[in-house]
Structure 1
Amino acid sequence: MKRLITFLIVCPLVFLGGFVDSIAGGGGLISLPAYMMTGMPIHFAIGTNKLSSAMGTTVSTLQFARNGYMKLKLSLMTIMAALAGAFLGARIALHISDYYFQIILLVVLPATALYLVFNKQALKNNKFAERLVGKQVLLSLVIALVLGIYDGFYGPGAGTFMLLGLTGIAKLPINLAAGTTKIINLTTNITALLVFLFSGKVFLILGLTAGIFGIAGNYLGAIYFKRGGAKIAKPIILIVLAIFFVKLIFDFIK
């Protein structure tokens, strides 16, 4: 009975997390707490979540690639920058508490939400450029590196911040920004998953089953993104930011 309850808790929430992640990133803010609610050890919760997330993200990444939302050279360059940043962030995490990141985010999250609410042009750059200027590429690499450090150090919401950074700072079209974010997320997810698998910290049956639900959520999310683009992304990002903010407050109160 306990195993059945675990599946009933995790699978629907992984589906919802996959749907949200495919559109706006931040699906882990929904799926990881689902695993933790079952009472499993934290490292198994993280490792099993990586398995189901990697499965779902693979599907949405393929969908975005099929829709032409990626540029090969830009994707490869930002992947390398993000991986370098994640390695550096993980090294920093060994010496500094994530408490300091949490303090910064308590300011950054409301500021980001206000930016989205009051900036009517946010996430509305829908024209897909055939060629990117050097400044856009350079800024994309910097964003990938910085958020790679954040992902390696702390992590939650990294995909959401990546999408916002690539559209708001690097001025990439939202479709290209979303596609680039997907391929980076997939790479970092698989890298982390391999670490947890080799450490024996993954419940395979639960992760694979939940991964099927994650695939369904990501697939539907990719379809909705294609139909609605920024109109869908903006409200979902606001919801993700609100969930993240509440989670941070809760972590401080505990």
Structure 2
Amino acid sequence: MNFLDQFILFLVSLVANTFSAFSGGGAGLIQFPVLIFLGLSFSVALATHKVASVALGVGAVLRYLKTSRLERQFVVLMLLTGLPGVVLGGNIILLIPDRMAEIALGILTGGLGIYSILKPQLGQNYEPVHRDWIGCVSGGMVLFLIGFLNGSLTSGTGLFVTLWLVGWFGMDYQRAVAYTLIMVGLFWNGAGAITLGLLGDIRWDWLPALLLGSLLGGYLGSHLAIKHGNRWIKRAFEIVTLFISAKLIYG
């Protein structure tokens, strides 16, 4: 790629990952289609995007390191339930018709935004619930399903995790976004990148610009989330989910 193409990739990655880090997901809405537009096949673009998305988690870790304390219970839960789903989803993605999967995901993603809009106080306060064994098992089963979507699709799955942590476990948006960026961005996407890299190809020469944009976007978006708090994160979450839904359904 020439310098202009690399610069375009950097800008796309920076914008996509800044919005993703602020709202709790959705970087693939912008970044993944651009990779295809620039000439990559679906499978190569997906694998390349997954590798680049790991830098989003790294950027978030750098910003949240001093301000957020992740609870060991949820770190272990998201690893044990989400990672198997990611690997499974990455292994069967090529068997699913792309258009059918996109429409289904678009409907589900739009539902998340509408649900959040209809619940004005959702995620504004930290009110922990479902922390017993049954609650964690039930929540973990859903995280496994979201992990499967994360491994097989590209847009919106981080938003699913964010809303599930808010709605089921009673987290506020700021806390839930921290878990999503670090656990999904770093560990889930890392597992997905390894799985897809083993199954297909990765365009390594495209990655420097994508990784730099993801790293800076993850840090900047996390800074904005910490600075502006739950109210603005909720609004950003709703806008991104509805935008992603329209993009996936109407193409």
Aligned to 1:68, the other structure's residue is in SS state coil
Q: Deviations over 1:187-223 (max 9, x none)?
A: 1211222244456722323212221122111111111
Work out whether residues 150 and 158 of structure 1, in 8 Å CA contact, stay in contact via their aligned partners in 2: yes
Residues 136 and 179 of structure 1, relative CA distance in 2, 3 Å threshold: farther
Quote the residue 2:150 is aligned against.
151
The CA deviation at 1:76 is 1.7
Quote the residue 1:8 is aligned against.
7
Quote the residue 1:209 is aligned against.
209
Alpha-carbon separation, structure 1, partners of 2:149 and 2:184: 13
Code of the aligned partner of 2:145: V
Residues 170 and 138 of structure 1, relative CA distance in 2, 3 Å threshold: farther
The CA deviation at 1:6 is 1.8
Residues 196 and 85 of structure 1, relative CA distance in 2, 3 Å threshold: closer
- Give TM-score scaled by structure 1 length: 0.83
Quote the residue 2:160 is aligned against.
161
Q: Deviations over 1:38-86 (max 9, x none)?
A: 1233333222222321122212134334322411232122111011222
Aligned-residue CA RMSD (Å): 2.7
- Give TM-score scaled by structure 2 length: 0.84
Code of the aligned partner of 2:232: I
The CA deviation at 1:94 is 6.0
Quote the residue 1:114 is aligned against.
114
The CA deviation at 1:177 is 2.1
Q: Deviations over 1:91-124 (max 9, x none)?
A: 5646554555444445433332222222111221
Quote the residue 1:246 is aligned against.
246
Work out whether residues 15 and 213 of structure 1, in 8 Å CA contact, stay in contact via their aligned partners in 2: yes
Quote the residue 2:34 is aligned against.
34
Q: Percent identity?
A: 20
Quote the residue 2:68 is aligned against.
68
Q: Does 1:231 align with 2:231?
A: yes
Alpha-carbon separation, structure 2, partners of 1:176 and 1:49: 25
Alpha-carbon separation, structure 2, partners of 1:93 and 1:40: 17
Residues 143 and 172 of structure 1, relative CA distance in 2, 3 Å threshold: farther
Alpha-carbon separation, structure 2, partners of 1:10 and 1:26: 17
Code of the aligned partner of 1:18: N
Quote the residue 2:222 is aligned against.
222
Alpha-carbon separation, structure 1, partners of 2:135 and 2:175: 12
Alpha-carbon separation, structure 2, partners of 1:32 and 1:103: 16
Work out whether residues 82 and 144 of structure 2, in 8 Å CA contact, stay in contact via their aligned partners in 1: yes
Instruction: Give the unaligned 5+ runs of structure 2.
Output: none
Pairs aligned (count): 248
Instruction: Give the unaligned 5+ runs of structure 1.
Output: none
Q: Which deviates more from structure 2 when the two are superposed, residues 173-182 or residues 51-60?
A: 173-182
The CA deviation at 1:18 is 1.3
